[in-house]
Amino acid sequence: MKRSGMFESVRSSFGAKLGVALLAVVALVVGFGFVVQEETSAALEDEVRNELGTSAETRAAELDTWISGIEGQVRLHSTRSVIASGDTAAISRHLTETAERDALPEGVVAIHYYDTEERTIQASSMPRMEGVNPAEAGAPFATDPPTFEGTDDTHVTAPFTVPVVDFPVVSVISLVEGTEGKALIYMIDLKSHTESFARTAGQGSTVVVDGEGRIVAHPESERLLTDYEGDVSALSGGFEEQEDLLVAGAEMQTLEWTVLARSDRATAYALGDRITSFVVGLILLALVSLAFVGVVVGSNTIVSLRQLAGRADAMAKGDLDVDLSTTRTDEFGTLYRSFDEMRGELRSQIRATEEKKEAIERKNQTLEATAAEYGTVMDAVADGDLTRRLDTDTEHEAMADIAASFNQMLDAVSETMGEVKAFSEHVVTAAERVDDGADEVMDASSQVTTATTEISDGAERQTEALHEVSTEMDALSSSAEEIAATVDEVAQASERAAEVGEEGQEHAERAIEEMDAVEQTTTETAEEVTALAEELDAVSEVVDVITDIAAETNLLALNASIEAARTGEEGDGFAVVADEVKQLAEETAESAAEIEDRIDRIQARAGETTTAMTETQARIESGVETVEAAIDALDNVATAVDETDSSIQEIRDATAQQASSATSVVDRVDDVAAIGDQTAEEATDAAAAAQQQTSTMTTVSDAAEQLTEQARELRTVLEDFTVDERAGSSEFSADTGVDPGGNGSVPATNGSGSDAGLRADGFDPADPRARNGDGAGGD
């Protein structure tokens, strides 16, 4: 589903299609670029391998040539007569000369004449080497002497170092012919030779490894005679890629040495990298170009198409004035012009259609005019002028037919209308008679109603009067009950009065006792007061005595003071005492006078008190008399109350009897009132019936009036119709003429239509109420 959806979305979009196509091209370019790069790289690598292998082999052959050259020369040299002579001095001279003449092969730095049995170098081109014991120095040809098959055989030693020289040495040894154990040794300076050898292999370098895995030749001389870290045997004739080196190996023919041609990996593959870079660059350039073209052309095309589609849509929706101008001259320009032409064509077609439409509209207009004319005539006909006719002289056949048919119809209608008119006249007359009859019935009915209403009113008034009597009796009964209740209360009150009278008597008797007690006490008090006055007289005599004493004392004091004055100064103290005594006597006299005054006043009061007492006694005596009179009066009251009580009892009995009589009267009156109510109700029912009858008759009358009105209206309406005089008048003229108009009934021969009409208005001749009403009217 998802895939098909994606497929659909690509199918429906030009941009997506273009994008997919461009992506396909890009994928193709990238894919092919990848193939080219892979192929080129593979070919290039093969090339590099082959080249390196060849280089290794060449170098090995070179080294072979060099070594075998030296071997040949050693062999040849050893056959020289000087060497074979055994004359050490001569040999030494010869070797030195040879070295000086530069006749030695490349790389050979010295020649030694060596005695294998004594193991000493007997002569040498290097004088310091003469007499040296190589075995002591550790030269392998001395410590481990090689075996020779003959004088033509040579031996190449493994590289070694000796203390005498500061470089690694390889020696080539050949036995001297015709001597016993003498050998000629060429000493090769490995360092100086291999350094140049190792470096001359193009951009790379050469390494030589001997059979024991030691480096014999290396561009870096310090690595000579160190162990080679790789597996040499695997490399002989093979190829190996190390971290940043490519190595190819080749074995030497003459020795068990392996020559390794090495090349810097980056340098070796530089061309490949450049090609890869160019291929990738080319792909990217193609990609950029495709992207640019695709985006510009694609976006432009899509936008142009969308705009054109938008304008086509607008045209499809009726807007023919869209802008279709363009400055483009390509296919889009053509498309725009095509659309423009199409629009022109559309416009002309639309114009033609509009012309046709106008013709039809004109025809419609004449039709409409005819129709309007017909309409006017028909309106007149509708208004009642049945004399008008449609004009059949028109260009439309259908319209002419319509006119003819209509005219025919009008003829028929006109005739019918005349008949209807005559009939309506007849109906009016009949209905007027019915109306009159109904009015009479109604009047009679109204009179009945009035009479019945009067009866009803009378009964109602009677009932009301009875109700009033009943109410009055109720009131009477209740007032009698109230009187009984009041009499009870009065009885109770008189009882309470009798009780109060008795209580008053008791209280009056107690008052008399109290008053007697007061009188006695008052008499006692008066005696006491008289006694007090006598006592006070005695006190007054004592005070007189004191007054006399005080006067004498005063006189004494005066005398004393005179006596003191006479005695002079010595009597001063006595004078003071006399003075004081005099003062005391005076004060005592004053106090005595005061006491006497008081006693006089008390005695006066006592006199007054005694008089008051006497008065009180007299009053009490009169009070006692009054109280005794009151007791007598109260006795009389009690007697009167008893009498009142018995009278009240009699009144109560009478009242109760009165109340029960009133209740029975009320019951009777209620019965009478109920009868009155019933009478009133029945009278009301009778009045209602009479009223209903009246209203029914009113309905009848209204109906008859309505019928008359409608018959009149019909007549008026029919009068609007203008009909030929002859139409329909003959049939009814005879009937109206014959009917005397006596009872209002329409003859059955022609009245079925009008009967139905009457019934429809609500008047049914069979209705019993209507008959009753009629009867009432008659009464």
Partner 1 sequence: MEFSTTLWLWVGVAGMTAGTLPTAYRLLLGGENRDLSAVLFGITGIAAVAYLIMAFGYGTITVAGSSVEIVRYTDWLLTTPLMVLYLALLSQPGRRVIGALVAVDAVVIVAGVAATAAGGITRYLLFGVGTLAYLVLVWLLVRTLPRRASFASTRQESAFVTLRNLTVVVWTLYPVVWLLAPTGVGLLLPETQVLVFTYLDIVSKVGFVAVALRGMRDLATAETELGVGAD
Helix axes 397-566, 572-720, angle to 10 degrees: 170
Query: In whole angstroms, how close is the CB of 339 to partner 1 at the nearest point?
Result: 16
Least CB distance to partner 1 at residue 226 (A): 33
Query: What's the closest the beta carbon of residue 273 comes to partner 1, in angstroms?
Result: 6
Determine the Cα–Cα distance for residues 539 and 556; give it in Å rounded to an integer.
26
Quick one: 305 or 400, whose CB is closer to partner 1?
Answer: 305
Report the sign of the C-alpha dihedral through residues 508, 513, 517, 519, in that order.
Answer: positive
Find the shortest distance in angstroms from Cβ 170 to partner 1. Answer: 45
Q: Which residue carries 């009240």 as its tokens?
A: 648
Residues in the chain: 779
Of 282, 135, 260, residue with least CA distance to 198: 260
Q: Is the Cβ of residue 23 or residue 28 nearer to partner 1 in the bound state? A: 23
Closest CB 327 distance from partner 1, rounded Å: 6
Which CB atom, from 65 or from 277, has the smaller least distance to partner 1? 277
Tokens representing residue 548 in the block: 């006399």
**Based on CB atoms, which residue is closest to partner 1, 298 or 676?**
298
The one segment of 152-160, 321-329, 461-469, 741-749 that binds partner 1 by CB under 8 A:
321-329
Q: Judged by CB, which is closer to partner 1: 287, or 518? A: 287
> Beta-carbon neighbour count of residue 748 at 10 Å?
8
Taking the complex as a whole, the smallest distance from the CB of residue 242 to partner 1 amounts, in Å, to 20
CB contact at 8 A, 201 and 59: yes
446 C-beta neighbours (distance < 10 Å), count: 18
Give the nearest distance from C-beta 37 to partner 1 in angstroms: 9
What is the token pair recorded at 391?
């004009």
Q: Which residues of 227-252 are buried (b: 16+ CB within 10 A; e: fewer)?
A: ebebebeebbeebbeeeebbbbbbbb
Under 8 Å between Cβ of 175 and 78 = yes
Give, as ranges, the residues between 68 and 87 that touch partner 1 (CB under 8 A).
none
Which residues have C-beta within 8 Å of that of residue 722, sequence separation ≥ 6?
Answer: 384, 385, 386, 387
Size of the site for partner 1 (CB under 8 A): 28
Q: What would the two tokens of residue 271 be?
A: 């061309």
Q: Which is nearer to partner 1, 302 or 549 (CB)?
A: 302
19 or 53: whose CB is closer to partner 1? 19
Under a CB-based contact definition with an 8 Å cutoff, are residues 370 and 377 in contact?
no
Question: What is the C-alpha separation between 79 and 70, in angstroms, rounded?
Answer: 14
What end-to-end distance do the CA atoms of the chain give, in Å? 106
Report the residue number, 221 or 304, with the smaller CB distance to partner 1. Answer: 304
Distance in Å, CB of 49 to partner 1, minimum? 23
* Residues 249-308 interacting with partner 1 (rule: CB under 8 A): 273-274, 276-278, 280-281, 284-285, 287-289, 291-292, 294-296, 298-300, 302-304, 307
Nearer to partner 1, 32 or 292 (CB): 292
The distance of closest approach from Cβ of residue 206 to partner 1 in the complex, given in angstroms and rounded to an integer, is 29
Cβ closer to partner 1: 23 or 565? 23
Query: DSSP character for 179?
Result: S
Is the Cα torsion angle 87, 90, 96, 102 positive or negative in sign?
A: negative
Residue with tokens 């015709």: 178
Find all residues with CB under 8 Å of 402, minimum gap 6, and list them: 374, 390
Task: Supply the minimum distance, in Å, between the C-beta of residue 303 and partner 1.
Answer: 4
Query: Does residue 35 bind partner 1 (CB under 8 A)?
Result: no
* Amino acid (one-letter) located at 400: A
Binding mask 216-255 for partner 1 (x = CB under 8 A): ----------------------------------------
Nearer to partner 1, 276 or 470 (CB): 276
Dihedral pair phi/psi, residue 144, rounded to 5°:
-135, 75
Q: Which residues have CB under 8 Å from 41's CB, separation 6+?
A: 269, 272, 275, 276
Among 12, 81, 203, 327, binds partner 1 (CB under 8 A): 327
Rounded least distance, CB 239 to partner 1, Å: 25
**The CA-based dihedral angle spanning residues 107, 109, 113, 118, taken in that order and rounded to the nearest 10 degrees:** -100
Residue (302 or 400) nearer to partner 1, CB: 302
CB contact at 8 A, 262 and 48: no
- For residue 300, the minimal CB distance to partner 1 (Å) is 6
Region near partner 1 per CB under 8 A, out of 154-162, 323-331, 391-399, 491-499: 323-331
Binding mask 380-419 for partner 1 (x = CB under 8 A): ----------------------------------------
**DSSP code, position 129:** G
- Shortest distance, CB of residue 330 to partner 1, whole angstroms? 14
Sheet holding 245-251, edge to edge: 215-217, 205-209, 258-264, 245-251, 239-241
Nearer to partner 1, 82 or 295 (CB): 295
At 260, is the secondary structure helix, strand, or coil?
A: strand
Q: How far is the CB of 8 from partner 1 (least distance, A)?
A: 22
Residue with the two structure tokens 């074979």: 84
* 323, 330, 355, 725: residue in contact with partner 1 (rule CB under 8 A): 323
- Closer residue to partner 1 (CB): 311 or 652: 311
The first and second tokens of residue 214, run together, are: 């030691």
Taking CB under 8 A as the criterion, the residue among 4, 325, 329, 622 binding partner 1 is 325
**Interface with partner 1 by CB under 8 A: which residues?**
273-274, 276-278, 280-281, 284-285, 287-289, 291-292, 294-296, 298-300, 302-304, 307, 310, 323, 325, 327
